[in-house]
Structure 1
Amino acid sequence: MNEREKGGVPDDALIRMTLAGDDGAFGELVERYKGRAFAVAVGIVGDGDDALDVVQDSFIKAYYKLKEFRFGSNFYTWFYRLLVNQAIDRWRKSARSAEVPFDESWLAEDSSPPDGFAYPRTPENLARDRELGDALQRAVDALPEYHRAVIVLREVDGMAYDEIAKVLGCSVGTVMSRLHYARGKLRETLKSHREG
């Protein structure tokens, strides 16, 4: 098995191979980033089907814009900027704000809780988690688009502040400010949910 088959080829090499006519190399980039891209897209647009469309459109756009990629930059950051812009555009055009259904697989037995944390999987706990998940999704859906994007990139995708700044085309200070605002709004909503 060669290095490419093992998935050890750096992004820059895959980009060069794609530009040289090897479409399979771009397929490897898609495989490498499609899961994270979907998580970000669904967090912004709020609907799984729309998120799939956003991810597909973003990869197509990236493929055709690949000749504009500046080597020395990070493909991930460059691609996610396209993705976030595409997702925000889709979200703006959408007449609805669909919710992402709570997925019980998130509570599966193989997703172990932190050490020392006992959490019995009772029907009551599952129902409470479902309600909390729904409330959280509604709170994220209610955020203004750029606050929504920054919370998704940070909390869902785990991006660093400087990466988010590059993706959104703003300063790190702006990222921090938007994140602070978004977290505050989510806290308010969840506090109201707990009290209600």
Structure 2
Amino acid sequence: MGKKFSDDDTHLITECKQGNKSAFDSLVVKYQDRVFNVVYRLTGDENLACDLVQDTFINAYRGLKNFKEHSTFFTWLFRIAVNTATNSRRKRMRNRVVSISKFQSENEDNWFDPVSDEKDPSQKAEDSEQTIIVQQAIDSLEEPYKTAIVLRDIEGLSYEEMQEILECPIGTVRSRIHRARNLVKEKLEAILNKE
């Protein structure tokens, strides 16, 4: 679920606003992996994700003077990352596979399980095939639903964090997640029924 962040961010942001560039470097180091993960899952392209993460941090640095502490730095940064990835996706419309774990339809709060390194090669191949099918189903979703499922079911963010990132009411967040899950289930059922 959503990771809690320390007051250290507030101190670093204050330092950044006073012109201390190394304080922003500390924020980059702290959040770059999580930002990369979200952007990569939204774009499906590692090289593109690297570029977009860089754009995200550049935009964050430039906009830091306007950052208001009514939200956390993390959710503000994620909003920038999601918007950057969304704009890029709209321009490029790529359908690439990412490494996600296998789909579980029974437990809606835990759709993606980590893939164990201890599995035999045939099980790894089956998991890989399932991963491709699930990612294709997610990639085919319209933007608000894809973002909702990535943030909630892959990143494990709370509804409150998603509300801040997506800048919409919590009811809308819940509705998008529910709709996205149903759409993915429908797409997977259609694929499985063809086999």
- Scaled by the length of structure 2, the TM-score of the pair is 0.83
Could you tell me how far apart the structure 2 residues matched to 1:34 and 1:76 are? 11
Amino acid paired to 1:149: T
CA deviation map 1:22-52 (0-9, x unaligned): 1111111111111111111111112111111
Amino acid paired to 2:143: E
Could you tell me how far apart the structure 2 residues matched to 1:127 and 1:71 are? 46
Structure 1 residues 97 and 18, CA, compared in 2 at 3 Å: closer, same or farther?
Answer: same
Could you tell me how far apart the structure 2 residues matched to 1:56 and 1:176 are? 30
Counterpart of 2:26?
Answer: 28
Could you tell me how far apart the structure 2 residues matched to 1:153 and 1:125 are? 27
Partner SS, residue 164 of structure 1: helix
1:194 shift after superposition: 4.1
Structure 1 residues 54 and 10, CA, compared in 2 at 3 Å: closer, same or farther?
Answer: same
Partner SS, residue 94 of structure 2: coil
Structure 1 residues 163 and 107, CA, compared in 2 at 3 Å: closer, same or farther?
Answer: closer
Alignment of 1:1-196 (within 5 A): 10-100=8-98, 107=115, 109=117, 121-195=119-193, 196=195
Question: Structure 2: any 5+ residue segments left out of the alignment?
Answer: 1-5, 102-113
CA deviation map 1:58-103 (0-9, x unaligned): 1000000000011242101111111111110000000432332579
1:141 shift after superposition: 0.5
> What is the number of residues matched between the two proteins?
178
1:108 shift after superposition: 5.0
Partner SS, residue 159 of structure 1: coil
Could you tell me how far apart the structure 2 residues matched to 1:9 and 1:77 are? 14
Could you tell me how far apart the structure 2 residues matched to 1:163 and 1:130 are? 30
Q: How many percent identity over aligned positions?
A: 37
Could you tell me how far apart the structure 1 residues matched to 2:150 and 2:184 are? 12
Question: Structure 1: any 5+ residue segments left out of the alignment?
Answer: 1-7, 110-119
Where has structure 1 moved over 6 Å in runs of 4 or more? none
What is the CA RMSD across the aligned residues, in angstroms? 2.1
Contact 1:81 1:167 (8 Å CA) reproduced: yes
Could you tell me how far apart the structure 2 residues matched to 1:94 and 1:71 are? 34
Could you tell me how far apart the structure 2 residues matched to 1:57 and 1:141 are? 22
CA deviation map 1:76-133 (0-9, x unaligned): 1111111111110000000432332579xx6453xxxxxxxxxx61222111101000
Which structure has the larger Rg over C-alpha atoms? 1
Could you tell me how far apart the structure 1 residues matched to 2:168 and 2:94 are? 28
Could you tell me how far apart the structure 2 residues matched to 1:73 and 1:15 are? 13
Amino acid paired to 2:88: R
- Scaled by the length of structure 1, the TM-score of the pair is 0.83
